[in-house]
Chains A and B, each alone.
Chain A
Amino acid sequence: MNDILQGLARAAKLVVTLDADLVEITALSLQVSLGAAAIGSAIGLPLGAWLAINRFPARRTVIALLNALMGLPPVVVGLIVYVLFSRSGPLGVFGLLFTPTAMVIAQVIIITPIIASIAHQAIRELWADYHDLLISLKANRRQRIGTLLWDGRRALMTASLAGFGRGIGEVGAIMIVGGNIDHATRVLTTAIALETGKGQFDMALALGFVLIGLAIAVNLALHFLSRTERGSRW
């Protein structure tokens, strides 16, 4: 209990004094996970919509696979990205290992199935509602997907936020491909793992509280923004 209180106090102090290391680590965490969520959404949302409105032979298999990939173990993803981008790996020439870019790539692989799968569920329901109208108005495939993504934007924001949440709290993959290098690839989760390993529980807890606060803040900010855009129920 004492550790937790000390952690809270330390967290408050770090935040109030805008500790330089904390700001740097937090900024990188945000940068990596928001970047991954943005890229994952750019891929996952249209993919989910496409899967919802198209009928093809392997559709069920693809959707089942997508749902299964939601549980992709981050450590394994990290390992595979590591092998691909290591010096001797097939993508080694890019020299991306132990850079934030590699961390973003790993997180995109982890969260895209989540975003696509949740988007697919939401869009499927909307498509059931809109089907006859869009066919009647002869909307082409691109217009159908565009309409469904736009009108389903509230539900899709939830999909993106779920992806972001998975990314910001993820440690296995970015630890492996990023390496937790101070002032280069250290993010909140890897820093927490490090501090815990060193026995610095109050510091680890402080970072943990900042992480939780950050996740809540991003969610609130997005919900606030989308509500001011239009005071509707969706």
Chain B
Amino acid sequence: MVSGMIVLEGVELRRGGRVIVGPISLSLGGAGITMMMGPNGAGKTTLLRALHGLERVSAGQIRWAGNGQALRERQAFVFQTPILMRRSVLDSIAYPLRLQGVTRGEARDRAEACAGQVGLRVNLKKDAGDLSGGEKQKLALARALILEPVLLFLDEPCANLDGRSTREIEEILTRIRAGGTRIVMSTHDIGQARRLADDVVFLHDGKLVEQAPSAAFFDAPQSKQAHAYLQGDIVI
């Protein structure tokens, strides 16, 4: 289990003079699955991307405390829409290893094993673009997992997937969480959040509205926005 901590202090992201996220101050513990929730445009994706270093933070800072250096160095990100390379399935999964200088043969062997771990049972020689939606997301997951990240970000990994694919992805996430990988993800699916989350970060309009352990959040949300959201009301 990783004992690191991610601490956000007054983190703010501005685009074109407009504040789109923040200021947000919160701290994430070293284990489990943190679920970012909130309506569209709440800033879930932007905040995840900022944590991963894909977005420039305009003000405030992100600190990696404790065992944070490992959290910082060994991260992976699964995008909402899988980014497919113009390569075979096998070479797509092996790609991060190739960047690390692993030889082609070994990278392919490990990619094959990794595809098996996420249950990607297709002809690995075929082009990544020919996969179905669920298979594409599994490919993205395998590609993210192949470097054995300590911290895994997922941005709505099950959006646009059917129930069966969603369940398979959730099983994989539960398994790697048990293996000690820290997971920070976003979702629109309240059921999924209930099934997976250890704690919940609820965002609204770029601001942190509520952060609570999963059980407390779903049983008794403190803020009226979270309450309305969980009721299924439309929160604007």
The answer, yes or no, to whether B129 is at the interface (CB within 8 Å) is: yes
* Tier of interface size on chain A: 10 to 19
Q: Are B99 and A132 in contact (CB under 8 A)?
A: no
> A135: which B residues are within 8 A, CB to CB?
53-54
The answer, yes or no, to whether B85 is at the interface (CB within 8 Å) is: yes
Which residues of A (27-63) have their CB < 8 Å from a CB of B?
A: none
A232: min CB distance to chain B, Å = 5
The stretch from A17-25, A70-78, A136-144 touching chain B is A136-144
Within 8 Å by CB of A151, from B76, B77, B86, lies B86
> A232: which B residues are within 8 A, CB to CB?
86, 127
B147: min CB distance to chain A, Å = 8
Q: Are A234 and B83 in contact (CB under 8 A)?
A: no
A137-B96, A137-B99 in contact; A130/B85 too (CB < 8 A)? yes
Q: Are A136 and B127 in contact (CB under 8 A)?
A: no
> B52: which A residues are within 8 A, CB to CB?
136
> A137: which B residues are within 8 A, CB to CB?
95-96, 99
The CA of A146 and the CA of B44, in the complex, are separated in Å by: 33
A232-B127, A233-B127, A233-B129 in contact; A133/B83 too (CB < 8 A)? yes
The answer, yes or no, to whether A229 is at the interface (CB within 8 Å) is: no
The CA of A130 and the CA of B53, in the complex, are separated in Å by: 16
Q: Are B86 and A133 in contact (CB under 8 A)?
A: no
Q: Are B83 and A132 in contact (CB under 8 A)?
A: yes
Q: Are A129 and B83 in contact (CB under 8 A)?
A: yes
B193: min CB distance to chain A, Å = 24
Q: Are A136 and B85 in contact (CB under 8 A)?
A: no
Best-buried of A135, A136, A232 by chain B (most CB within 10 Å): A136
Q: Are A234 and B99 in contact (CB under 8 A)?
A: no
Within 8 Å by CB of B83, from A130, A139, A147, lies A130
Q: Are B54 and A234 in contact (CB under 8 A)?
A: no
The CA of A129 and the CA of B84, in the complex, are separated in Å by: 8
Which residues of B (34-57) have their CB < 8 Å from a CB of A?
A: 52-54
> B86: which A residues are within 8 A, CB to CB?
126, 151-152, 232, 234
Per-position contact with A for B79-104: 1 when CB-CB < 8 Å, else 0?
10001011100000001100100000
Per-position contact with A for B18-35: 1 when CB-CB < 8 Å, else 0?
000000000000000000
The CA of A221 and the CA of B79, in the complex, are separated in Å by: 39
Per-position contact with B for A115-155: 1 when CB-CB < 8 Å, else 0?
00000000000100110110111110001000100011000
Q: Measuring CB to CB, which residues of chain B are less than 8 angstroms from any residue of chain A?
A: 52-54, 76-77, 79, 83, 85-87, 95-96, 99, 127, 129
